Every structure is written in C-alpha cells, then in structure tokens.
Amino acid sequence: MAELDLQSESSQADISLLLGEEESHILTTGNPEIDKKIADGLPLGSLTLIEGENDTGKSVLTQQIIWGTMHANLRIDLFSTELTTKSFLTQMESMSLDISDFFAWGYIRLFHCHLVEFKWTQESMNDILERIIGHVKFSNADVAIIDSLTIFTEYTSNEAILNFLTQAKNVCDHGKTILITMHSYAFSDDVLTRVRSICDAHLLMRRKLMGEKYVMVMEVVKVRGARKTTGNLVSFEVHPGYGMKIIPISVAKV
C-alpha cells in the first residue's frame, strides 16, 4: 500500500512538472491568445461572473472554457436554461470543439433547467437554486457552469440571488470553481454592483460596431489573484467550423 501511495505521489509530481506549478492552478480556455488576455487564465477555486446583453458571446466563451477544461482532465457540471444535450453537442462541434467523447465518458454532465410545463414560481425558483448549490457542493465535478442565471432573477427576489451567490462563493473557497453567465439587465445598478463585488472574476461582454461590421468585445474587469494586469480588451468573431477568432482592436477598427 505504501508503495502504491509513493507511486501515486510520484505520478502527481510528474504531472505537476509537465504542466508547471503555476499552470496547474489555472482554468484555461484552451486558446493561448484568450488566456493571455484573461491574466493567463482564471484561477481554480474562483467564482466568475460572465456578464453581457443578448448575443454578446457569453455562451460562446463558456463553451471555449469547457473545451480547455476537458483537456485539463477536469470534470464539469453544466446547468443550462436553454440547451438540450443534442443542441449543446451540436454547438460545440460547429465551433470545432468536439467534446462528444468526453461527454460519453462522463467528464461533462449537462443539467437542463428549463422544463416543459414547469410552473415558474418564486418558491420553485428558490428550491431549484438551493438544489443547484447543494449539488455543486457534493458533486465530484471540479467546475460548475450556470448558463444563465437571468431566468431565475425573473421569478425570485434579489435577496435569494445574493444568498445563492454568497453560498457559491463559500463553495469556491473549498476548492470548487464556478462560472455564472448573466444578462446585465437582470438587476438594478445597486444590486448589480453587489453581485459583481461577490465574484472573484468579472468578464464583461459587449457587441460593438467597428468599421463596417459588428464584433464581440470582452473586457476583463477583474480577476482576483491574477498574475498579470487585468482591464484587457479582447475583440473576436465567431466563425462556424472555426470557433472564436481573435481580432486585434486596430484591425477591427479598419
């Protein structure tokens, strides 16, 4: 038994050497260009808010993060209010991010939160939020993604949402990594400020007209514990069959 434990520790040490001590604590997108802008990646054990209006690339970014997470041998629980299993796998494949094998092996599990004929009430929403955070707390998954939190804000109180985020932060303090997408219009400015302050990382997504075309722009507002300065802007387009394509700001303005 002692010999097996030594072999296990040796294997972990070898993996740490291959990944690098710093990189082993970072949640990567699998895209070096994007990681470079997000302070070299999001720290594991953090609560991240991905905020933006409709069609600003929130889901696209989370799918890119899912790709990087799968190739870091981490497990994911994805809670979606829009995607079914079929549509999720199809979207990933359309971006050349085929994770069907990982899905089949159970490295990623999708929980569809928008049920047909489900009665949307404040009581039921509060119950679902409690069930989600309870599942994340005891799940064997390393990363949890909630895409998106907006639908819950329409049927529950601000206090319930803030309590949910506080519980999520406590779960992250014990080693879990949680990413939450949300529309900016979901809260008043005062509540939105409190929501942002609870989170360890905040990525703001926008859609802007640059030159004669619209591009998506991600602003890295904050990443607590980041090794590099935040505040970076990343402009990108989404191309079918290719995925996220980074566009230099100077080129986008031409």
The DSSP line for the chain is -HHHHHHHHHHHHHHHHHH-TTGGGEE--S-HHHHHHTTTSEETT-EEEEEE-TTSSHHHHHHHHHHHHHTTT--EEEEESS--HHHHHHHHHHTT---HHHHHHTSEEEEE---TT----HHHHHHHHHHHHHHHHH-S-SEEEEE-SHHHHTTS-HHHHHHHHHHHHHHHHTT-EEEEEE-GGGS-HHHHHHHHHHSSEEEEEEEEEETTEEEEEEEEEEETT-SS----EEEEEEETTTEEEEE-HHHHT-
The average confidence (pLDDT) of the chain is: 83
**Residue that is written with structure tokens 């986008």 in the block:** 252
Q: What is the CATH number of domain 26-252?
A: 3.40.50.300
Task: Give dist(CA 185, CA 192) in Å, integer.
Answer: 9
pLDDT category at 7 given cuts 50, 70, 90 is very low
45 — pLDDT class (breaks 50, 70, 90): very high
Confidence of residue 10 (pLDDT cuts 50, 70, 90): very low
Q: What percentage of the chain has pLDDT greater than the value 90?
A: 47
Tens of pLDDT along 119-158?
A: 778 888 888 899 999 999 999 999 999 998 998 888 888 9
pLDDT at 117: 64
| Tens digits of residue pLDDT in 67-114 | 999 989 999 999 998 888 999 999 999 888 999 999 999 999 999 876
Tell me what the mean pLDDT of segment 1-25 comes to: 43
Whole-number pLDDT of residue 226: 66
In the chain, domain spans:
26-252
Contacts 24+ apart (CB under 8 A), 162-165: 162/191, 162/194, 162/195, 162/198, 164/129, 164/132, 164/133, 165/47, 165/195, 165/198, 165/199
Q: Is 214 left (phi over 0), alpha (psi -120 to 50) or beta?
A: beta
- The predicted-structure confidence for 211-224, as pLDDT tens digits, reads as follows 778 889 999 999 88
Q: Which of 36, 35, 117 is nearest to 69 (CA)?
A: 35
Q: What is the pLDDT of residue 17?
A: 38
Q: Look at residue 9 and tell me whether its pLDDT is greater than 80.
A: no
